[in-house]
Amino acid sequence: MIEIKNLKKAFGQKKITRCLDLTVEDKEFIAIIGRSGEGKSVLLKQIIGLIKPDSGSVLIDGEDITKLKGKELKKVFQKCGYVFQFAALLDSLTVFENVGITMLEDGVEPKKVRPKVLDRIKSVGLGADTLEKFPSELSGGMKKRVGLARTLMLSPKILIYDEPTTGLDPITVRRIHELIKKTHEEQQATTLVISHDIEIFNYADTVGMLHEGKIVYKGPAKDIWESKNKYIHQFIRGLAKGPIQ
Amino acid sequence: MVLRLIDGIGNLTINFCNGAGALTIFTLDAIKTFISTKLKLRKVFTQMNHIGVNSVSVVLLTGGAIGAILAFESYNGLHKFGAERFIGTLVFLSMAREFGPVVSSIMVTGRAISAMTAEIGTMKITEQVDALKTLSIDINQYLIVPRIVATTLIMPFLSLFCTICGIVSGYVIAIYALNVNPEMYMEAVREYSELADITKGLTKAGIFGFLISAIGCYRGYITTGGAKGVGIATTQSVVIANVTIFLADYILSSLMSLT
């Protein structure tokens, strides 16, 4: 379970996260929505420990990760997988080396790593022919799949996706959403997805809305279109008038 | 006006101290990782190839040019006193103790350290560094230590090549262009030079390698702000590394003169 309590983060004078509270239950699939620049990515990076909050706590299975450093933080990274917005693949490595990097760096022989990498690559819908390609040779959707395959190598309990469908065509968006849902079910993982895409409501259990550094709404995804929350009402319909300026 | 000047100097001093402190902590962290974790030898050799082997031609070229210039310029001065035979000593000592390590370090800074900063900086702004962290990979062990170790190890070799090339070109110019007697030239070199002159130069080169690679890695690692940020980081890395080479050279020369 992830419990975020009274989380605050500012960059200089700009307050990004303001007294944010959020609870994500085990195996829950939550989509976090909000306008661009609201600090959604900063929130995710605070959850995983990549950015230290100014105050507040992030409890993962009861352990406050904001107090952790070095090796203790590494354990959090093993528990939480993070899929980056633009995949963040290492551009000097092949797909095989990118996906198998943790095992290869641990000194496991490449021939022993290969079957596991192939298995992961197939699970995200890619073929063996992609293994020797470099990230620059892949399309946006393929990069995101490889990024997910790399994250899945650690079999994390919590999967965090930072805008996984940004810049993709509608067909690829649907495929990525289906892949996220399939992975969520197969891995029995807690899943947090940041998205601007209202299609995500068809896949998530719950939706949280971030506005001015706080969660202003959290409710079931299936009821979102009936929600009376004024922020949700304006945001999902893309209305110019409303509380969101 | 005066207050603004004092304010400016104060700010510069604070920024300098902050930067120097952060660089020191970063370097100490890298040293701690080097001591406490297994060195990635394959990465070290790859970096040695990238930093060293690919820099050999430019180092040889500049070393040769400096040796030739030294021979020419010293001839003009020494000829007036009939002391041409000391051209060899002057070229040898200058190349072995100063120009070899300094020039090769400057060349490596321009060619490889700038690329090192740009590479790490690009990895930082494209979240590749964050991705490595989330995969529980030690950034120091994976990215920083192999680069620092490789540069520290390869610099003495580059310095030696630069020195040899400078001495050879100085000899060629002195003997064939300036008509200095080759026996007298070599006699002076043997009489006034020691092995310690070379070892001191190589030690300097190793220390310069350590310093410039730590600066290059650190400046890349703290890069922010997109492509422009990478450009700024690369420029700053080269400037700081070059200034550091000269400052360190002065300090090391002073210390070595005591021994």
Q: What is the ipTM of this complex?
A: 0.88
Q: Which residues of B touch A85 (CB under 8 A)?
A: 127
Average pLDDT score over chain A: 90
Of A183, A193, A120, which is closest to residue A157 (Cα–Cα)? A183
Does the residue A14 lie in any domain?
no
CATH assignment at residue A217: 3.40.50.300
CB B147 within 8 A of CB B116: yes
Q: Which residues of B touch A45 (CB under 8 A)?
A: 130
pLDDT, residue B79, reads 83
CA pair distance A213, A193, nearest whole angstrom: 17
Token pair of A229 as six digits: 């929350």
Residue of A nearest to B37 (CA): A106
- Report, in angstroms and rounded to the nearest whole number, the Rg of chain A calculated over CA atoms: 18
Q: What are the pLDDT digits (tens) for B143-184?
A: 999 999 999 999 999 999 999 999 999 999 999 998 888 888
Q: What are the pLDDT digits (tens) for B107-116?
A: 999 999 999 9
Reply yes or no on whether the pLDDT at B77 is more than 90. no
Q: Which residues of B touch A80 (CB under 8 A)?
A: 134
Do the Cβ atoms of A102 and B137 come within 8 Å?
Answer: yes
Do the Cβ atoms of B136 and A77 come within 8 Å?
Answer: yes
Does the residue A39 lie in any domain?
yes
pLDDT, residue B54, reads 86
CB B118 within 8 A of CB B234: yes
Q: Which domain holds residue A176?
A: 28-53+69-237
Do the Cβ atoms of B123 and A90 come within 8 Å?
Answer: yes
Q: Which residues of A touch B115 (CB under 8 A)?
A: none
CA pair distance A185, A188, nearest whole angstrom: 5
Of A11, A24, A35, which is closest to residue A60 (Cα–Cα)? A24
Does the residue A164 lie in any domain?
yes
What sign results for the dihedral spanned by CA atoms A217, A220, A222, A226?
Answer: negative
Residue burial B157-187, b: 16+ Cβ < 10 Å; e: rest: bbbbbbbbbbbbbbbebbbeebebeeeebee
Does the residue A166 lie in any domain?
yes
pLDDT, residue B194, reads 86
Do the Cβ atoms of A88 and B142 come within 8 Å?
Answer: no
- Which positions ≥6 away from A134 have C-beta within 8 Å? A91, A93, A94, A95
pLDDT, residue B165, reads 95
Mutate to test the interface with A, among B134, B139, B140, B142 (most CBs of A within 10 A): B134
pLDDT band at A71 (very low <50, low <70, confident <90, very high): confident
Helices B226-258, B114-125: crossing angle, 10 deg rounding: 140
Does the residue A176 lie in any domain?
yes
The 8-class DSSP code of residue A24 comes to E
- Residue A42 one-letter amino acid: V
- The distance between the two most distant Cα atoms of chain A, rounded to a whole number of Å, is 59
The domain tally of chain A equals: 1
Averaged pLDDT, B98-120: 96
Enclosing H/E stretch for A21:
strand A14-24
